[in-house]
């Protein structure tokens, strides 16, 4: 009888455990509703809504002063919102900051490093402050150094590291307590192209490890390869959220065409200006660029129309729109505060 009871209790626990797991999986990693933050009379965040699912790499983009760091500081429990709700893994950042902190690794845009430490000591210091026992740290820290390609710098003083190395050390620091969510404020800022590529490779590995990552930048092409979704913020408001392709399709500029002609450039421009779906013409020394709103079939019509007019076309191609074009189009190229 007692055995039977024990079995029943075990099954119930298993069931409720399974339910809890299903529930946890359904909870977004980040949920923000009506989030606002003012500094005096200045409204830095004007009520933003955002949901980020588990395992997503989310690129948070916007011009200087748009509100990216403010949002990230709130998620990191370092700044209180003026209104609205922000939750990490279902925990409200204001009501349960300790639960939130256990789950996040936060890399601010300006970080203080402890220059008198060696790289390895720096990580021990942070590991110890998270209560990780020494024996565990001894096993963990070499792995972290390996992940961020700093194994050969383990005994170098933090002071002596390059900016890119310091950024990577800072990233390793964010990982000591194995957080599910990484909040990275401009991790690639000030890095040279090689260091940016290294950073991007590390972030790809972190994605493979199942981390949810929110990463801000205003250097967009570097995000394009690794983000699943982007959110564009401007003047404290989210102006677009979705996967890169969705956002592109919502844009007025569907595609950019480029045409090179042997001659009669001005005539061709006048002709093109009259054609449907031609939104804007840009002339450069290599030919004519067109912001084009038509689809493939319209584009084919445009080309046969040009040929029908006897224009001597050297090339007619569609430029790949990238995140940079998307960003400039959405924000109309204007920095919020500049």
Ligand X SMILES: Nc1ncnc2c1ncn2[C@@H]1O[C@H](COP(=O)(O)OP(=O)(O)OP(=O)(O)O)[C@@H](O)[C@H]1O
Q: Which residue among 31, 92, 99, 109 contacts ligand X (CB under 6 A)?
A: 109
Q: Binding mask 30-59 vs ligand X (x if CB under 6 A, - otherwise)?
A: ---------x--x-x---------------
Q: Binding mask 188-217 vs ligand X (x if CB under 6 A, - otherwise)?
A: ------------------------------
Tokens of 249: 């399709």
- Using CB under 6 A as the binding rule, whether residue 69 contacts ligand X is answered as yes
Least separation in angstroms between residue 37's CB and ligand X is: 8
Of 170 and 259, nearer to ligand X (C-beta) is 170
Q: Which helix (H) or strand (E) holds 305?
A: helix 296-308
Q: Which residue among 7, 19, 64, 143 contacts ligand X (CB under 6 A)?
A: 64
Q: What HEC string does 19-49 produce?
A: HHHHHHHHCCCEEEEEEEEEECCEEEEEEEE
- Using CB under 6 A as the binding rule, whether residue 218 contacts ligand X is answered as yes
Of 47 and 65, nearer to ligand X (C-beta) is 65
Q: How far is CA 330 from the centre of its chain?
A: 16
With contacts defined by CB under 6 A, name the span among 62-70, 240-248, 276-284, 309-317 that binds ligand X. Answer: 62-70
* CB proximity list for 67: less than 8 A, separation 6 or greater: 37, 44, 45, 48, 233, 235, 236, 237
Q: Which residue among 66, 165, 175, 227 contacts ligand X (CB under 6 A)?
A: 66
With contacts defined by CB under 6 A, name the span among 51-59, 67-75, 151-159, 191-199 that binds ligand X. Answer: 67-75
Nearest to 153 by CA among 168, 133, 137, 175: 168
Helices 119-129 and 134-147 pack at an angle, to 10 degrees, of 130
Q: CA 22, CA 314: separation in Å to the nearest integer?
A: 58
| Length of the chain, in residues | 338
Contact residues for ligand X (CB under 6 A)?
A: 39, 42, 44, 62, 64-70, 109, 218, 337
């Amino acid at each position: 009888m007692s055995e039977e009871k024990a079995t029943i209790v075990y099954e119930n626990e298993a069931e409720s455990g399974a339910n809890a797991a299903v529930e946890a999986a359904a909870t977004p990693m980040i949920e923000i509703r009506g989030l606002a933050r003012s500094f005096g009379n200045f409204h830095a965040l004007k009520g933003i809504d955002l949901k980020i699912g588990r395992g997503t790499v989310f690129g948070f983009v916007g011009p200087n002063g748009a509100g990216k760091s403010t949002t990230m500081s709130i998620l990191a429990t370092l700044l209180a919102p003026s209104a609205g709700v922000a939750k990490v893994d279902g925990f409200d950042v204001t009501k349960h900051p300790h639960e939130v902190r256990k789950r996040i690794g936060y890399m601010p845009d300006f970080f203080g490093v402890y220059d008198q430490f060696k790289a390895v000591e720096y990580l021990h210091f942070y590991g110890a402050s998270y209560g990780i026992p020494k024996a565990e740290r001894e096993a963990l820290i070499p792995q972290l150094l390996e992940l961020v390609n700093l194994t050969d710098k383990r005994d170098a003083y933090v002071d002596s590291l390059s900016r890119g190395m310091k950024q990577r050390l800072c990233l390793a620091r964010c990982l000591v307590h194995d957080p599910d969510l990484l909040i990275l404020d401009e991790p690639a800022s000030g890095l040279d192209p090689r260091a940016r590529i290294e950073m991007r490779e590390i972030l790809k590995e972190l994605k493979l490890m199942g981390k949810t990552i929110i990463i801000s930048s205003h250097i967009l092409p570097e995000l394009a390869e690794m983000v699943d979704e982007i959110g564009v913020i401007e003047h404290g408001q989210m102006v677009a959220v979705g996967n890169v392709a969705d956002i592109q399709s919502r844009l007025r500029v569907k595609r950019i065409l480029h045409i090179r002609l042997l001659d009669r450039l001005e005539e061709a421009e006048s002709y093109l200006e009259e054609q449907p779906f031609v939104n804007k013409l840009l002339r450069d020394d290599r030919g004519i660029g067109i912001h084009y709103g038509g689809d493939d079939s319209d584009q084919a019509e445009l080309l046969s129309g040009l040929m029908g007019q006897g224009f001597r076309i050297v090339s007619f191609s569609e430029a790949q729109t990238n995140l940079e074009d998307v960003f400039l189009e959405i924000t109309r190229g204007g920095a919020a505060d500049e």
